Structure 1
Amino acid sequence: MQRYDRLYALYDDFDADTLRAYQDFVDLFPPVDSRVALDYWESASDELDDRKDEIRSSFPDEPAFADVAARATRDQAFAALDLHAKYERGVNVLVLDVDETLRSAGGTDNEIPRETLHLLTEFHEAGVPIVICTGQTLENVKGFLSQGLGDELVHSGDVSIVYEAGTGVFTPGHGPDTKQLLYEDLGEDVRGVFDDLRSKVLPDAPETVRRGCHLQGNEFNVTLKPNFETGSERARELIDEALVYELDLLADCLDAPEQAVRAYYADADPEIAGVLEAAGETPDADVPDDLRDVLDRIDVAYYEADAAEIASRELNKVVGVEAAFDVLGVADPFALVMGDSKSDLRVMEWVHGEGAGIAAAPEHASERVLEHVQQTDELVFDRGAADEILRTAWALNLLAE
């Protein structure tokens, strides 16, 4: 019998939904000081073991099937088998965005769900390193990771944080390589522009931007965030205005024509072009070669109703992930990359081009991200349900063993 046929038989002949419910109960049962509760947990654990043993006896040549059925739905299991048939290997490192990926303002109340946190600990215990790859500040990420996963896991030496979209990498437990400030390797000319931007961005801002936005506490990037709920109409209006302002401020810091700077970034990013057009600021100017050479090194990013950011194009999540892999000793990566934004797309395209991984995105990800994911392995998950893809990857690894 072919492996696909055996997998069909597994889900047809056994109550995988109930098995998975027992597994989730055993995994997620909170620690309580109650003899009755403990007896109930032990009874569920025994029932789980009995059901798994029954599957193992029915599929002696497929020792992973019992654990696959206990973790993955039918669709997730077949997706995992498809991935194994295509790539013939399992995932050996996770590269995970946080906001609107592991957690969602609209789906998880901005908390990483317990199911997702538990699966991350399972991957960690199985020896799979975790790279958190985010645009957030280091201190913010360290805080919620320690709270959700525990200090022991975060400082195990197998977890790395690529923060501010690649300006720095923090990998506890690695001596002098624990914290790498990648922006220190940039030329003084570019670093000077960012110093100038940071000193002016709030004092010179229009009153609506100054009152409605705050400057994220980055070490290097210049990021304006709204003082309103991410995704709200008010946040969208403010970030659109902040984007136009940041483009013009960049022009001022470079002593360059505003229209030329607007034209450069509008040509590079359709979303930026759309914001400028909606504001009646449609750029129409030539970009001199000497200015283009400078702008080629500076990235302006627009995240609808979330952030307007100026960063170094020489520093991005790909650079940060490569540095994290070096520290973690991941020499032959096959990564699961999960994200929702253009900065995540760069990592997805990089691993795809290198044959070094697969990509997944939430259903509300940016259009370009969804297009890439649909064209590769179609790993799209529901808002706030990152565990769907983690279960698929877990099943993939079981099948690949």
Structure 2
Amino acid sequence: MERYDQLYRLYDEYDTATLRDYQEFVDLFPPVDSRVALDHWQNAREDLDERRDEIREAFPQGGETYAALAALATREQAFTALDLYTEYGRGVNVLVLDVDETLRSAGNTDNEIPRETLHLLTRFHEEGMPIVICTGQTLENVKGFLIQGLGNGVVHAGDVSIVYEAGTGVFTPGHGADTKQLLYEDLGDDIQAVFSRVRSRVLPDAPESLRRGCHLQGNEFNVTLKPNFETGSGRAHNIIEGGLVYLMDLLEESVGTVLDDVDDPTARGYARAFYAAGDPEIRGVLEATGEQPDTDADDVPDAFAALFERIDVAYYEADAAEIGSLELNKVVGVEAALDVLGVDDPFALVMGDSKSDLRVMRWAAENDAGIGAAPDHASPDVLDHVLATDELVFDRGDAAGLLRMAYALRRLSDLG
């Protein structure tokens, strides 16, 4: 109970709110060419140092840790961190972070990663924390905004890895031959043939309304249809529903071609029946659009089902319709990234909002390899998992709050 007593003393006896305000001002002060502003920054820095020194002197055992906690974590964040340390006996040693609707959100931000979040990631990096960015986006997109936000030096320092296209590839700058791993090249010839056929036909064979209403994301392997309308809008919703149905039919035709069974495959509805049986969201789209198959899932031939079981069809409402390999997912990508980074005994903070992130959270829970956190607008299955484990749910656009808690957990674990 001694650490709990120390935290109570810290937050009861010291004005930690003002200390955090000083710290935030010093950390996020924008570059300006103003002597008055710079003098104000310097005065704030001096006040911050004095307040932190006071705490260091008041806590002979772990004074530096308690001063850091007071400057960066709220009372609730610090006590949550201590509860987690009491539960698991260790601190976070790697960050595994989704991007869209997790680090950044279109809900109440400009859809860029907030400066506060970027600064916290930089702080973790400076203290030697490996960072795995785990996203469904293309590599070039992710590299671009990471370099813009964190700086080229951080991204290429050797302890940042990018799992892209939901696990089809891993990019870890500074690791020689292991810098870029194209995991999809290890898939079977049959799966590669299916994806090659889908990709080559997805836009040329699409109905005109789909060709005009959506575009193909520039992936290396996955096939992702994105709307040409504002994400989340009614028009995006409608076009992605249609795109999902079209992708399933095209997938079925491509599987039939690989199996040399192409006798009017789209009329049979094998893919629609198979994926609707396993995913209530897909079933809901088929019902809403009146595109339910006449075929029953039990009537899907074994040869088709065997390939479907290795291929993922994903629906992201008003955002994307996608097919990917179930043999390649974010878990496979994260494991590959951790191997390159040399993280042999991970205890990760896994932050995400979608079903692909849920796989990583479950992997972490099942292997005592970390904890999961999600924004409050995450998919229901993700929220169910997070609430059933450590209840680490944060407000939309406030990933920084969870990162502050993780920082507190790391500092408390350093006390031993």
Equivalence map 1:74-153=2 (5 Å): 74-153=75-154
CA offset digits 1:222-271 (Å, max 9, x no partner): 00001111112221111111101111111111224542211111111111
The worse-fitting range, judged by mean Cα deviation, of 319-328 and 255-264 is 255-264
Q: Secondary structure at the match of 2:167?
A: coil
- After TM superposition, give the deviation of residue 144 of structure 1 in Å: 0.5
Partner secondary structure for residue 347 of structure 1? helix
Match of 1:361 in 2: 374
Residue type at the aligned position of 2:334: V
Q: What corresponds to 1:59 in structure 2?
A: 59
What's the counterpart of residue 272 of structure 2?
262
* Greater displacement, 378-387 / 200-209: 200-209
Instruction: Pick from 257, 272, 291 the counterpart of residue 282 of structure 2.
Output: 272
Q: What SS does the aligned partner of 1:310 have?
A: strand
Determine helix, strand or coil for the equivalent of 2:124: helix
Matches of 1:5 and 1:263, distance apart in 2: 58
Of the three residues 313, 321, 337, the one matched with 2:350 is 337
Q: Where do residues 204-243 of structure 1 align in structure 2 (5 Å cutoff)?
A: 204-243=205-244
1:35 to partner: Cα distance: 2.6
1:302 aligns with 2:312: no
Q: Say whether residues 1:185 and 2:195 are aligned partners.
A: no
Q: Is the 8 A contact 1:92 1:335 kept in 2?
A: yes
Query: Is residue 205–residue 245 contact of structure 1 (8 Å, CA) maintained in 2?
Result: yes
CA contact (8 A) 1:119 1:387 kept: yes
Question: Residue type of the partner of 1:336?
Answer: L
Shift of 1:357: 0.3
Cα distance in structure 1, aligned partners of 2:182 and 2:249: 28
**Which residue number in structure 2 is paired with residue 387 of structure 1?**
400
Q: Structure 1, residues 281-317: CA drift from partner, whole Å, max 9, x if none?
A: 2334122222111111111011111110011111111
Aligned partners of 1:360 and 1:389: how far apart in 2? 8
1:334-368 residue CA offsets vs partner (Å, 9 max, x unmatched): 00111111111111100110000011111111110
CA distance in 2, matches of 1:34, 1:262: 63
SS in 2 for 1:165: helix
Cα distance per residue 1:176-212 (max 9 Å; x no partner): 1111111111111111111110111111112221111
Q: Which residue of 1 aligns with 2:360?
A: 347
Compute the displacement of 1:6 (Å). 2.4
Say which SS state the counterpart of residue 373 (structure 2) adopts: strand
Q: What whole-Å deviation, never above 9, does each CA across 1:146-202 have from its counterpart, x for those lacking one?
A: 000000000000101111111111111111111111111111111111111011111
Partners of 1:107 and 1:326 lie apart in 2 by 36
Give TM-score scaled by structure 2 length.
Answer: 0.94
RMSD across aligned C-alpha pairs, in angstroms?
A: 1.2
The one-letter code matched in structure 2 to 1:197 is V
Is the 1:105–1:230 Cα contact (8 Å) retained in structure 2? no
Alpha-carbon distance in structure 1 between the residues aligned to 2:376 and 2:231: 17
Read off the aligned partner of 1:52 and give its amino acid letter: R
Q: Secondary structure at the match of 1:337?
A: strand
Once superposed, which parts of structure 1, at least 4 consecutive aligned residues long, lie more than 3 Å away? Answer: none
- The AA in structure 1 aligned to 2:397 is G
Give the equivalent residue in structure 2 for 1:31. Answer: 31
* Distance apart, 1:37 and its partner CA: 2.1
Deviation at 1:57, TM superposition (A): 2.6
* 2:269 alignment partner, SS class: helix
The AA in structure 2 aligned to 1:302 is: Y
State the alpha-carbon separation in 2 of the partners of residues 140 and 372 from structure 1. Answer: 29
- Displacement after TM superposition at 1:96 (Å): 0.6
Residue 325 of structure 1 pairs with residue 377 of structure 2: no
In the alignment, the residues of structure 2 paired with residue 215 and residue 166 of structure 1 have an alpha-carbon distance, to the nearest angstrom, of 18
Q: Percent identical across equivalent pairs?
A: 71
Aligned to 1:293: 306
Deviation at 1:385, TM superposition (A): 0.9
**Kept after mapping to 2: 8 A contact 1:157/1:173:** yes
Name the counterpart of 2:40.
Answer: 40
Q: Distance in 2 between matches of 1:356 and 1:77?
A: 21
Counterpart of 1:313? 326
Give the TM-score, by structure 1 length. Answer: 0.98
Residue number in structure 1 paired with 2:262: none
SS at 1:131 equivalent: strand
1: CA distance between counterparts of 2:70 and 2:246? 53
